[in-house]
Amino acid sequence: MTINHPDYQQEVQRLNYTKDYIVKILEASEHMQESYKDNIKDAFVNLDYLDSSLSYINILVNAKFFEMTSSELDHLKRVASKPYFGRIDFQNDETDHPSSYYIGKVSLFKKDTQESIIVDWRSPVASLYYDGRLGEVEYETEDQVHSGNLSLKRQYVIEDGELEEIRDIDITTRDELLQSSLTGSSNNRLTEIVSTIQAEQNEVIRSDLSKPVIVQGVAGSGKTTIALHRLSMFIYSYADRVSPSEMMILAPNRLFINYISEALPELGVEQIRQTTFIDYVEKSIKKKLKLIHPDEKLLQLLEPGHHDLSKWSSEFKGSMEFKNLIDQFILDIEKSFTINEHFKVEGFTLYKANKINQLFFEEYRYLPIDKRIKKIKGVLQATFKKKKKEMIKLIENKFDDQFDRLYYSPNYTEERRKKVIKLNEEKDKRIARIKKTSIKVVSDFLKQYELKKPWDYYHKLMSNSDQMKVFTNDSLTDEQQKYLVESFNQHIKKKKYELEDLAPLLYLQYRLYGIKKENKAKNVVIDEAQDYSIFQMYALRMSTETDLFTVLGDLSQGIHSYRGLTSWEQLIEQVFPRALYRTLKKSYRTTIEIMNLANSLLENTQPHLDTAEPVVRHGPLPSFIQIKNEEEAKEKLINVLAQVKSDEMETISIISKTKKEAKNILKLMENSSDYSFQLLEENNAIEDDKIAIVPSHLAKGLEFDAVILMNLSESYFHKELDAKLLYVAMTRPLHQLYLVGTSREGFLLEETNSPFFNETLNKKGG
């Protein structure tokens, strides 16, 4: 207990000292800010009559300072009432006494003595706090390994500036702070874990920032959380080299972006670009695309008796085989850029065709086609400019020779005189023509280089089986080729694409035109990466021009496995050969009781996939509640909601199998109870005071205090796809799970072992 802790008084003093210091710093910086503001004002006033360049510099310099101090100020203000959360005492082997480090979300030094008051959690020494061991330890800085003894690891609970608890952690005690943090509500959870990051998570957050990292982590293992913290780490470590706007988070949908964006300012990473794959591709190819809803395919596949070729085509379009096919196709496009005529002006050959081809196919081969054309244009224009005078000179010389011959010939007759006049006219005309010839002659010549848009080429490839046959090297059957072409044509008739078409379009853009700087990146995070195909990953890696990716996913949640990744090895081999691979097996989100049910479902339906190991935390057993008809569904759902509310669950969701079912549930419940509901769609933000109705495929990555799975007219029956959807849905709750439906089979419960759920409303304690 705090009061009894021998260091309590000393810790209170330390906390007061830190708070006072922060107040002083805030006051001082505010004062400084004022003076910067005044300086900027002066500079503006002086702009008119002072040496304008000098005064302009003043503005820039002051604006920069202003920006720095205000962001520092913001951070300090944010932590002022909770300046740190932990402490370590570490004695470096080279010193004779231990030093105490107080660890928080910002670093703070005494300006005069450089004494450290708070150490940023991202600093190298803070790693010792997370590694979890006492005794002989070491940590690394850029150029050195520091070894020594860690004699204390302490956690604090500080609320509104008051020290409420002190907990000393040794090897045997459980991480109580983690326990109490996990029992809280899902509101705010993403932001608060910095004090309870676990050793295996810390390892991922800090592992070599100069390498790609691929993380297979079970549901609730903290992947999203880790992704954000690793970005924060990256910004901290490379602040001088990389700006946050050069980093990019790719999320599965806008809903997820809204969800994580709350955590970003807390971690100091708010300016990071956040986007979805679809948005990224549209921006890169500069075209809005009408897409067949990505889940239409999923729903098709969920129907019994679906077309096997449809599954195959998604797999194929996401494969490296398809990428190779497109490479062959691009070679063919390139060939069509072979030039057969010389670049000539007024009969002068300024650049030979074979030389131009050499530039295109050899010298500038490393560039996208459009950039090659631009370079060649530049070369021809420069040549034209340079040769223009020479051409005039040559014409003059040529005609002068002819004049001379006519003039100085012994019999200069009238006829010859006329000839001279004619020659003169001809000379003037040719010279005038050359003088008049503008640089446009180059563009006219290069009109033969007609580069079409990526989608035009893609259409050409996909809409004609003869065309496709040329590039498949007989690797596809006639039936497969026919299916690809027919289904593409069917979609295009409605001016629509499939999600699977985006990777090839992005790749074509990259190879034909290149990617604009603002769409490249220095660091990329991909969450829910199991749903990406290998070709998508490859296209992203090429177009962003970096391999510094943090890729996080869980193959067990691969609800789009027909088009997504099925192994991480393939990703490492074919896209990220430098990558580090990490696995996370512990799940922090949910209780043992809920995880047991979800695991049992997975073990019985997909034995090859990883199950999660829940962190020790108990709660009620999941409940199955049977309904016979809609009327009963309404009544029982209201009972469940009443129960959940009385258990003080703050965030609640009803997860349905499909969007159609979600709409039906909303229709059933709207106006029939005191609760208000929100149907979650791709672009929504979750409204705190409403009960969210979520189609299962959108539930990925989200979490709620209590979750009610509801089968009104639909059920989960498919052992592979449905089981994964169900697994995703079952792993969303933090505390309570209910399954409301017409039969147990409809939740594949015959696949689980029955002690993992009961058949009444919950009694607390399981």
Ligand X SMILES: Nc1ncnc2c1ncn2[C@@H]1O[C@H](COP(=O)(O)OP(=O)(O)OP(=O)(O)O)[C@@H](O)[C@H]1O
Candidate ranges 62-70, 220-228, 354-362, 740-748; the one touching ligand X (CB under 6 A): 220-228
Q: Say if residue 465 is exposed, middle or buried (CB neighbours under 10 Å; 0-12, 13-18, 19+).
A: middle
Instruction: Identify whether the C-beta of residue 722 lies closer than 8 Å to the C-beta of residue 748.
Output: yes
Q: Binding site annotation covers 184?
A: no
Q: Pairing between strand 273-276 and 247-251?
A: parallel
Q: Does 705 participate in binding ligand X (rule CB under 6 A)?
A: no
Give the shortest CB-262-to-ligand X separation in angstroms: 12
Closest CB to ligand X among 153 and 189?
189
* Per-residue interface string for the shown chain with ligand X, residues 555-574, x marking contact by CB under 6 A: --x-----------------
How far separated are the first and last CA of the chain, in Å rounded? 29
For residue 683, give the nearest of 255, 250, 261, 251 by alpha carbon: 255
**Minimal distance, residue 635 CB to ligand X, in Å:** 32
Does the annotation flag 227 for ligand binding?
no
* DSSP letter (8 states) at residue 552: E
C-alpha span between 149 and 135 (Å, rounded): 5
The yes or no reply on residue 261 touching ligand X (CB under 6 A) is no
Half-sphere exposure of 187 (CA within 13 A, CB side): 8
User: Cβ of residue 731: shortest distance to ligand X, in angstroms?
Assistant: 5
Residue 197 touches ligand X, criterion: CB under 6 A: yes
Q: C-beta of 468: minimal distance to ligand X in Å?
A: 38
- Nearest C-alpha neighbor of 244 from the set 274, 284, 282: 274
CB-based contacts of 588, cutoff 8 Å, min separation 6: 178, 182, 198, 220, 221, 222, 615
**CA–CA distances in Å: residue 100 to residues 95, 124, 148, 465:** 13, 15, 13, 71
Please give the backbone phi and psi of residue 444, each rounded to the nearest 5 degrees, phi first: -60, -40
222 binds ligand X (CB under 6 A): yes
Among the listed residues 295, 703, 722, 751, the single contact to ligand X using CB under 6 A: 703
Q: List 136's β-bridge partners, or say none.
A: 149
Instruction: Select from 196-204, 331-339, 618-626, 676-684 the region that touches ligand X (CB under 6 A).
Output: 196-204
Cα–Cα nearest to 492, from 454, 466, 465, 458 = 458
Q: Output the smallest distance, CB 590 to ligand X, in A.
A: 8
45 by DSSP, 3-state: which?
Answer: helix
Binding pattern for the stretch 717-736 against ligand X, x by CB under 6 A and - elsewhere: --------------x-----
Q: Could you say whether residue 190 binds ligand X (CB under 6 A)?
A: yes
Q: Which stretch binds ligand X (CB under 6 A): 17-25, 178-186, 253-261, 652-660?
A: 178-186
Largest CA distance in the chain: 129
Q: Is 217 in the site for ligand X (CB under 6 A)?
A: yes
CB of residue 451 to ligand X, shortest distance in Å: 42
Among positions 62, 216, 221, 472, the unique one binding ligand X when judged by CB under 6 A: 221
740 is in an annotated binding site: no
Q: Which of 14, 223, 617, 718 binds ligand X (CB under 6 A)?
A: 223
Annotated ligand binding at 646? The verdict is no
The answer on whether 521 is annotated among ligand-binding residues is: no
Binding to ligand X in span 577-596, by CB under 6 A: 588-589
Extended strands (E) in 314-377 = 343-345, 348-351
217 annotated ligand-binding residue = yes
Contact between 297 and ligand X by CB under 6 A: the answer reads no
Distance in Å, CB of 576 to ligand X, minimum: 20
* Whether 187 contacts 650, CB under 8 Å: yes
Which pair of tokens denotes residue 189? 């959870």
Is there binding between residue 155 and ligand X (CB under 6 A)? no
Three-class DSSP category at 318? coil
Q: Minimum Å distance from CB 274 to ligand X?
A: 15
721-730 helix and 294-302 helix, angle to the nearest 10 degrees: 120
Q: Which residues are annotated as a binding site for ATP?
A: 217-224
| Residues engaged in binding ligand X (CB under 6 A) | 178, 181-182, 189-190, 193, 196-198, 201, 217, 219-225, 554, 557, 588-589, 701, 703, 731
